[in-house]
Amino acid sequence: MPSRVVDPRITERRNPRTQQIDLADALGIVDLMAAEDQEVPRIVAAQRERIAEAITAAERIFRAGGRLFYVGAGTSGRLGVLDASECPPTFGTDPEMVQGIIAGGVAALTSAQEGAEDNLEQARIDLAARGVRAGDFVIGIAASGTTPYVRVALEHAKSVGATTAIVACSPPPPETLQQADIAIVAITGPEVVTGSTRLKAGTATKLILNMITTGAMIRLGKTFGNLMVDLRATNVKLADRSERIVAEVCAVSRAEARALLDRAGGRVKLAIVMQALDVDRAEAERRLADAGGVIRRVVNTSPPAVT
């Protein structure tokens, strides 16, 4: 009997619990996948201290004018681009503040770019093209922990003085860990379909990226309680949300909320401070800047309690 080759990468190993999945009916497939997925949040939570380190680093870098870059290939790269693209509408950030870099470029977002993750020189070129420098934060995302493009990207980032981190779902090799100031390794185990890291590893990665950017933005004062007060009202839904938040926090009618937002240039945070302190927009901006953007430090109150 030939010997079985065991890949050292946990994400590439066969899952004994799903080896008969091709015989299952639709409900059976759902049950098998759900059973695997339910462990993912617990695995991510075990990395809570490392994730908190990344949040603290991101806040520090943002406050100093630095930027956050996600770097990855395939699913990992797409998740980084997704998280970065959601920050401007959710938190009112400049698109330059959080950026996603994917091996193979824009084309890799919608179709596989074979060999892109093995192009080592391109990793350096891509980071240099974005002007990655000291004072920035580069987070490499590699489900298997071994993606060459990510390793070289971290090497480049480290060489220019940027802070670095790795997000992986299988233990990265020493040469990759040496390039990371922070290592977030959520070992999600073998996938339902062997090697398909868009599954459990992808889910874990999405949860971790959610925590890093959301946590950093909360620390920057982009929420008031759990209310989204720095959103950009770029569509009807977000404009409606802005009005509802101002109406609720300021205890005013929708029409009054709309008028407040007009005076505040559409910015929810400014509208709240203007109403609470009875000041104009310029003064509200000054007070918020002095308080590091945190509403509670300016108005010394809490948002209405949820009933």
Q: Are residues 62 and 194 in the same domain?
A: yes
Q: Pick the last residue of a domain from 219, 241, 259.
A: 219
For the question of residue 12 being annotated catalytic, the response is no
* pLDDT tens by residue, 240-252: 999 999 999 999 9
> Taking a C-beta distance cutoff of 8 angstroms, is the pair 72, 150 a contact?
yes
Q: Are residues 107 and 46 in the same domain?
A: yes
What is the count of structural domains for the chain?
2
The single residue listed with the structure tokens 């233990």 is 171
Q: Are residues 280 and 197 in the same domain?
A: no
Residue 187: inside a domain, yes or no?
Answer: yes
Q: Pick the last residue of a domain from 161, 186, 219.
A: 219
Q: Are residues 132 and 109 in the same domain?
A: yes
Q: Are residues 228 and 197 in the same domain?
A: no
Residue 1: inside a domain, yes or no?
Answer: no
Residue 146: inside a domain, yes or no?
Answer: yes
> Taking a C-beta distance cutoff of 8 angstroms, is the pair 39, 192 a contact?
no
Residue 4: inside a domain, yes or no?
Answer: no
Catalytic residue among 12, 59, 86, 283: 86
Residue 268: inside a domain, yes or no?
Answer: yes
CA–CA gap between residue 8 and residue 174 (Å, rounded): 13
Residue 50: inside a domain, yes or no?
Answer: yes
> Residue 269: which CATH number?
1.10.8.1080
The distance in angstroms from the start CA to the end CA of the chain is 66
Q: Are residues 93 and 130 in the same domain?
A: yes
For the question of residue 117 being annotated catalytic, the response is yes
CA–CA gap between residue 152 and residue 155 (Å, rounded): 5
Q: Are residues 147 and 257 in the same domain?
A: no
Catalytic residue among 117, 155, 191, 243: 117
DSSP characters over 22-62: GG--HHHHHHHHHHHHTTHHHHHHTTHHHHHHHHHHHHHHH
> Residue 49: which CATH number?
3.40.50.10490
Q: Pick the last residue of a domain from 165, 191, 219.
A: 219
Q: How many CA atoms lie within 13 A of 286 on its CB side?
A: 6
Q: Are residues 139 and 279 in the same domain?
A: no
Domain coverage including residue 187: 41-219
Residue 3: inside a domain, yes or no?
Answer: no
Q: Are residues 169 and 59 in the same domain?
A: yes
Q: Are residues 212 and 259 in the same domain?
A: no
pLDDT tens, the chain, 307 aa long: 555 666 778 888 888 889 999 999 999 999 999 999 999 999 999 999 999 999 999 999 999 999 999 999 999 999 999 999 999 989 999 999 999 999 998 888 887 766 666 677 899 999 999 999 999 999 999 999 989 999 999 999 999 999 999 999 999 999 999 999 999 999 999 888 998 899 999 999 999 999 999 999 999 999 999 998 988 777 898 899 999 999 999 999 999 999 999 999 999 999 999 999 999 999 999 999 999 999 999 998 888 888 7
Q: Are residues 62 and 142 in the same domain?
A: yes
Residue 159: inside a domain, yes or no?
Answer: yes
What residue type is assigned to position 154 of the chain?
Answer: L
State pTM to two decimals.
0.90
Q: Are residues 50 and 166 in the same domain?
A: yes
